[in-house]
Amino acid sequence: DREHDWSLVQVALTDITARKKAEAYLEYLGSHDALTKLCNRSFFADELNRLERKGPVPVTIIMADLNGLKAANDELGHAAGDSLLRRAGEVLNSIVDLPARAARIGGDEFAVILPNVEQAEGESLMKVILDLVAINNEFYTDLPLSLSMGIATSEPGERLEAVVKRADMAMLEAKREYYTQAANERRAQAG
C-alpha cells in the first residue's frame, strides 16, 4: 500500500563493467591468438565448416609459413621468435578485411580464408602481403621477416579441407625453394 509514497523504496546498483570486459576478453581469446591478434585454429576450422555449408563460393585459401622461426628461437631466444610471429600478425591483420579472415593455425603456420574470391585475386593479395613484408623489414632491420606461401581455390563441389591441403602443398613447395635458394647462396658466399 505504499505505491504513492516513494520514501520507502530502496534502489541497489552494481557496476558490472569490469565483469563484462572480462567476459568480452575471454570470448575474444576463444577465437583469437593472443600473440598475433589473428583468429586461432579453432575459429579457422569453424569458419571453413560455415563456408562449406553456407558459402559464398569460390573460397580461396592462402597458407603461409614463417621462414627461419626455429633458427631465430635457437640463436636469439624465444623473444625474437615471438617478435617475428607478432610482425607476421601485423602484416596479415593490416591487409585482410572482412569477410576474409587471417588465422594462426599452428606454431609458425598461418592461413587466410578468402570467401567469394577467385584464384587471380588471391594471387594479387599474396603479392601485396609480400610487399608488406618487405616494408615491415625496412622498419625492423635486426631480424628479417619471411613467409613461404601457397594458394588454392575451391572447385565446384570440392571440400574446403581438400583446398587447404592443396594450398598447404603449394606452400611446402615454396618453403623448399626458399631453403634451397638460401643454401645455394650460403655455398656461393663460402666458395
Angle of helix 17-31 relative to helix 41-54, nearest 10 degrees, comes to: 70
33 is catalytic: no
Residues 6 or more apart in contact with residue 160 via CB below 8 angstroms: 48, 51, 52, 59, 61, 154
- DSSP state letter for 101: E
Q: Which of 97, 108, 131, 142 is catalytic?
A: 108
Q: Where are the alpha helices (DSSP H) in the chain?
A: 17-31, 41-54, 69-76, 78-95, 119-139, 160-190
- Of 145, 165, 162, 163, the residue nearest 153 (C-alpha): 163
Amino acid at 13: L
Distance of alpha carbon 129 from alpha carbon 116, whole angstroms: 19
Residues assigned a catalytic role? 108
